[in-house]
Structures are given as C-alpha cells and as structure tokens.
Structure 1
C-alpha cells in the first residue's frame, strides 16, 4: 500500500523467495514448497498413476532444503508400491550434493551410507554432484563436474528450488541484505551487525554454507532451528530494552523425522553446523508414529500461541541434553559459529 510504519525494533522473518533456477523448471516440473504448489503436484501425480512412466526427483544447484526431496522420493515409492504400479515407474534422484545424504551440512553421522542403503533397498537410482541445467516435458538435462551433459527420461519431475531473500529485503541495501542471496545479514545472535535494532529469523537469514562443494549447496534452516532463532532474538530484544547486557545465540540443534512411507528416519544433530556434540540416526516404524504425533503437537503449539512451552525445553534437556539458546559473550561472528 506504500504506507510507512516506524519501529523501535524490526524482526525480519518474511521467509524466502523461491528461485526456479533450471531452464523450464517452473513450467515443466513441480514443487512442494507452498500449499498451492503441493495441490498442483497432487494433480500431476494423479496423471502419473493413470499413465505410469519414469520419475525424476531432486535438487538444483544452490538448494539448501534437501530433506523434502528425499521424503518425496521415498513416499512416492511407497505409494506406487501400494497401487501395484511401482514396477512401471523407474525413479531417479538427482542432486547437487556431493553425495546423497549430505543434506547441505556435510552429512549427519553415517547418513551417506544410510541413504544409499535406503535407495538401494527401494530400487531408486541416484546421481549426485551434478548441476541440473534444464527440465523439459519428457527429460531432465544435467551437467557433471567435468562439464559433460547427460539426459534422463522423465514423465514426472519434482525439483526443490533454491531460496533467495524477497525483494523487500533486497531493497534495504547491502548492509541489511547479503549481496549474493539477498538474505538478512546477521551475527551469532541473529542481530544485524550494522543496524543493531534489526534482527533476522528463519529461512530469510544469511547463514553461510557449511562447506564449499563442487556444485553449490546451501545449509538448511529447519523448524527447530528457526524456533531457537526466535527465542534468542526475543530474549535479546527484551534485554536491550531493560539495559541488560546479556545476549543469547540459538544453539541451532535439530531433530528431523523423515517419512519414508512404510517407516521413517530419526536424525538428531547438536549443533547442525559441525563440529557436533552429539549425533543420532535411527530408522523404524516408531519414527513414523512419532512424526504423526509431533505434527498434532506442533499444530497445537501454533494454534494456542504457546510456541516454546517450558516442558518442551525440559524434555529436550533431559533426553537429548540440548537447550534452545546459549549465553553469548561475543555476538560478532558468523551465525552458527560458537560463542
């Protein structure tokens, strides 16, 4: 509307802009990053069930959110198997990660072998360390690290887009928006280093890549990590108002439960950004039941407005020895670096 609103403190938590970087990706592929995209994907899946053919799933260069692509591939395998048409649908997973199970974080414990075994058991082919260049109605074209081009036939595709800061963040200039990805520049305490009354929370924050990879990849910002960012920022704003010098940084630990259809995987990393204090990787039907229960619990938190109940913090500390935030004596460092 063009209306101007003054502020004492600003928390930027807009979420990202989706960038469909491969030629033809937006027109010829599908996405599950928004409700609208998911509903459109559902319609195209119905056509696949009626007329089975090869499927290609994966992530383009620069993607930082890989988990949903893995879940989608494994859950689609399960659905096709239930319908009795899996043998008619070859599935190929193509990713910019240097290896499957990298997840943009250098892997989580034995995640490389874990994912390779999952794919092998389910007869899902994989191609890693490549850049998807184009998605056409009947094929996916990718380039390997040697510059050679290859094609994979496809009648249905789902590729994760990369994330970028939205125009409203980019318009604030290079001191607020990272020049490369237009995301909010923040320090360890998720405060902008230049404008101390501006903070960033969520996917829109500019956390640097965990490591340099042959094909560009970004680091994920999971729901648990984002809750921790919000808690830290809330404490920091309150302390600033009260002239309390204490500042907090999010621990950036993460619990991820990945649905595989007939069972699920449980991943815990503390913190997500190496080096790590603890790692857990497990698989079983119990993890799928746990994910279903957590979904109901999370929706209750959102609907009730009680995003960080005290009992949740106590349970996490008791069983996983993790706290959402930590006192930080020096906030001037890259987000995710240790205080």
Structure 2
C-alpha cells in the first residue's frame, strides 16, 4: 500500500487557504493528506481596509470564519509554527506538537513590526487590519483642517500601491465634505518613484499634480516625533503632520529567522520561477512570505498558489501543470472615489493598463464577494 504524501501548510491567510483548496481540488485524501496550520479566528479581506476607513463599506461583509473557507478534505489545526527542522522534515509548533512533512508550504504572510519605528505606537494610523481601519475612520471623521501625511515605511509592504489609492480616495472624500481647501495632503515614499509599479507611478504623479497632493520620493522614515508632530527620515529631513497615516514596518514571521531561513527583512528567499527554498525541493514559500520580484498582493498569492498546487499534484499523481510561475499579476488600483484601472503584468510581459473607469472601480469594490466565494475556494 502506498502511503499518502503529507503536505503541511503554515499560515491560514489568503495564500495558504487558496493553495490548500486548489491542491485538494485536483487530488484525493488517499493520494495527499493536507494539513493547514494557523491561528486566525477570522479572515479579513484586507483590500477592503481602504473602503472601511472611509465608511464606504460595512466591515461585516469583509469577514469570514477561517475554517469556513476551507473545502472538505483539508485538515485545519489551530496552532502556530515555532521552528522548522528542514533536515529532518519536521515542523515544531508552539503547542509542543510536531509534524513530519513530505512537502512544506510556508504562507505565513507579514508580521507588523511597529516596534521597529521609534515613536510609532499610538501616533500613526493605518488600514492594514480591521481594527486599525476602524480607528482610522474615526480619525478621518474628525479631521477638518491641517495636514494629512501619508508615509510609506522602508522595506516590503503588502500591496504598496494601496497608499496611492488612499491618497486619491482621501482627496475625493475631503471634496465631498467640502473641506478639501482646508486640509493639505502629503505623500512620501522611500522608493525612487511614487510607486514600485511603473504604470501606477506614472498615473499617480499626474493625478497628484491635478489634485494638489504634494509628494516626495526617496524619503525613508526613521522615527516619529509625536511632540513636534513630525516624521524624520534617514537623511535627517522631516515632514510635519496633523494626522499621520503610515503602516508599520513589515517583516517576516520570527520563526523563519529562528529556523535559519530568513532573507531580507525576515522573508524567505525562493526561486522566482519554481518557488522552492534554497536547495530544497520539498519546501516552498508563497504569498507575502516569499521574497519575489513582484508586488506583495492577493493576486500574486493566488497565481503562486495555483502554480504550486498543480506542480505538487503532478509530482505525486501525474497530470499537466505549468512548469514555472511566470510572475503573473493583475492589479486593480483605485484612481479616486469612483474610478479604478487595472495593470496586467508578468516577469516578461510589458504591463498592459486599462484607462481609469467605473467598471474597474466596481470590480474592486465588490471583489470580496468573488474572493470569498470563488478565489480562495479554488474555483477560479
């Protein structure tokens, strides 16, 4: 009797759940046993954080029970990884349990690290989780004058174009309230351009000029001075604010570093086309966990999960699969209060960009419906 291969997935976010469901869709338990390990009580569709912070969506539609999103035939263990012993193919968990694997997929996403930015706690606002989005909404509701500073921290960031989106949404929000002339908006980034995505950067520069949004590139935040209400850069430059909107620094999970597997900023370096870690053909990283030359976004996680599920199914039971992950992304970016545009790209493909339109805005606005019903369930 041939024993089923054991596939262990660390992380119950978008990448981990999508991969588990897609792998189960093309295999049966007798061929592959799938266990996903995570400790999220609820799954929040992060793209809705922007809408929630402006009161454009009710947060209840952006939340689902994590276990509810898993298809049948996937075992779900509520626990957290503590260390990976990759030589013996063993994962050690915080509960004291251990798991032996044939394939290990690390999909633990980002760790928000406000402690790495002096002065951050209690001063900066952001929309990268539900509670913080609601706190930001309260701050925006009481803003009627002053300067809103939107700052990008140094290092990788989950969907960094969202800060451009926020700036343009804020402009429209203040216009609707009739107070745009009383509130100035400033946007800063440590990157050479407004956005790491060239098509988004070109659009944003023109839009910022039109909307009277000041912007500064090459501004890498080092600390926050709450007394003087200013953010100081690594070069000693400073920017004043009355309201600071800045996500905390993003890092990989600590167990990756403690396992001796961390690359830049604590994420895992993987082959950009095969997604495997180092010399190993049984350890992979997908989603935000992986150091890849693509934007950290749910779109990327979906395509990576699709490729990897087909690859592992091929190795175990045969069948067709894409030989490589091609870096494919589809980025729908808000262009204001009622328009958006989509950028399609891959490693080789020259980005193809739509003109800002209402249809793409509606696509983004309603994307949580498709996400929960089809994408993470492996249907699309």
The answer, yes or no, to whether TM exceeds 0.5 is yes
Partner residue in 2 for 1:203? 288
User: What's the CA shift for 1:278?
Assistant: 4.2
Extract structure 1 runs of 4+ deviating beyond 6 A.
Answer: 243-247
Q: 1:96 aligns with which of 190, 210, 223?
A: 190
Aligned to 2:190, what secondary structure does the other structure show?
coil
Within 5 Å, which residues of 2 pair with 1:280-319? 280-301=353-374, 306-309=377-380
Q: 1:234 aligns with which of 309, 318, 324?
A: 309
Aligned to 2:288, what secondary structure does the other structure show?
coil
Paired residues of 1:63 and 1:160 also in contact (CA < 8 A): no
Partner residue in 2 for 1:12? 106
Q: 1:153 aligns with which of 240, 248, 256?
A: 240
Unaligned runs of 5+ in 1: 211-218, 310-339
Paired residues of 2:310 and 2:320 also in contact (CA < 8 A): no
Q: CA offsets, 1:166-208, max 9 Å, x none?
A: 01222221xx332x3221232221122333211111000122x
User: What's the CA shift for 1:246?
Assistant: 6.5
Separation in structure 1 between the aligned mates of residue 370 and residue 117 of structure 2, nearest angstrom: 37
Q: CA offsets, 1:123-170, max 9 Å, x none?
A: 1111111212222335333447xx4x3332211111133322101222
Partner residue in 2 for 1:331? none
Paired residues of 1:59 and 1:69 also in contact (CA < 8 A): yes
Partner residue in 2 for 1:183? 267
Q: CA offsets, 1:101-133, max 9 Å, x none?
A: xx324x13xx44321121112111111112122
Q: CA offsets, 1:211-239, max 9 Å, x none?
A: xxxxxxxx522212111110111112112
Aligned to 1:249, what secondary structure does the other structure show?
coil
Paired residues of 1:190 and 1:199 also in contact (CA < 8 A): yes
Partner residue in 2 for 1:322? none
User: What's the CA shift for 1:307?
Assistant: 2.5
Q: Provide the aligned length of Structure 1 versus Structure 2.
A: 282
User: What's the CA shift for 1:299?
Assistant: 2.7
Separation in structure 2 between the aligned mates of residue 63 and residue 186 of structure 1, nearest angstrom: 15
- Residue 122 (1) aligns with residue 232 (2): no
Paired residues of 1:134 and 1:141 also in contact (CA < 8 A): yes
Paired residues of 1:263 and 1:287 also in contact (CA < 8 A): no
User: What's the CA shift for 1:267?
Assistant: 2.8
Partner residue in 2 for 1:69? 163
Q: CA RMSD in A?
A: 2.4
Separation in structure 2 between the aligned mates of residue 38 and residue 192 of structure 1, nearest angstrom: 34
Partner residue in 2 for 1:194? 279
Q: 1:34 aligns with which of 129, 141, 166?
A: 129
Aligned to 2:353, what secondary structure does the other structure show?
strand
Paired residues of 1:66 and 1:160 also in contact (CA < 8 A): no
User: What's the CA shift for 1:61?
Assistant: 1.5
Q: 2:150 aligns with which of 47, 50, 57?
A: 57
Normalising by structure 1, we get a TM-score of 0.75
Paired residues of 2:168 and 2:337 also in contact (CA < 8 A): no
Within 5 Å, which residues of 2 pair with 1:245-324? 248-271=323-346, 273=347, 275-301=348-374, 306-309=377-380
Paired residues of 1:18 and 1:161 also in contact (CA < 8 A): yes
Normalising by structure 2, we get a TM-score of 0.68
